[in-house]
Structure 1
Amino acid sequence: MKKSLLLYLFLLAILMNVFTYMFYSREVKFGEERYEKTTKKLRDSISLVTTQLTEADYFSLAHNENAQNYFDNSATGGKFIAYEKLIPVVTEKLMDLNSSPTGNPYTGQDMIDGKKFIINKVKVLNHRWIIADYSNGEIWGEVLLKYFVNDDESIAFEVNQSLLYQK
Structure 2
Amino acid sequence: MKRSFLLYAFILLILVNVFTYSFLSNEVKFEQGRYQRTTKKLKDSLNSLTNKLNDANYFSLEKNENAQNYFDTAVANKTIPYEKLIPVIKEKLVDLNANPKGNPYTGQDQIGANKFVINKVKVLNHRWIIADFSDGNMWGEVLLKYFVNEDESISFEVIQSLLYAK
Residue 26 of structure 1 is matched in structure 2 by 26
Cross-structure match for 2:103:
104
1:115 counterpart letter in structure 2:
N
1:81 aligns with 2:80: yes
- Structure 1 portions without partners, runs of 5+: none
One-letter amino acid of the counterpart of residue 161, structure 1: Q
Matched letter for residue 146 of structure 1 = K
Measured in 2, the distance between the counterparts of 1:78 and 1:157 equals 24
Equivalents in 2 of 1:5, 1:67: separation in Å?
Answer: 89
Match of 2:59 in 1: 59
Quote the residue 2:147 is aligned against.
148
Q: Distance in 1 between matches of 2:84 and 2:13?
A: 74
Question: 1:143 Cα deviation (Å)?
Answer: 0.1
The 1-side partners of 2:65 and 2:52 are apart by: 20
| 1:151 positional shift | 1.4
Match of 1:40 in 2: 40
In structure 2, distance between residues paired with 1:86 and 1:20: 68
Q: How many residues matched?
A: 166
Scaled by the length of structure 1, the TM-score of the pair is 0.96
Q: Per-residue displacement from partner, 1:16-61 (whole Å, max 9, x unpaired)?
A: 1111111111111011111111111111111111111111111000
**TM-score normalised to the size of structure 2?**
0.97
The AA in structure 1 aligned to 2:135 is: N
Q: What is the aligned partner in structure 2 of residue 68 from structure 1?
A: 68
Give the distance between the partners of 1:64 and 1:136, measured in 2 at CA: 32
SS of match in other structure, 2:147: strand
**Does residue 122 in structure 1 map to residue 121 in structure 2?**
yes
Name the % identity. 69
- The code of the aligned residue for 1:147 comes to Y
* Per-residue deviation, 1:90: 0.5
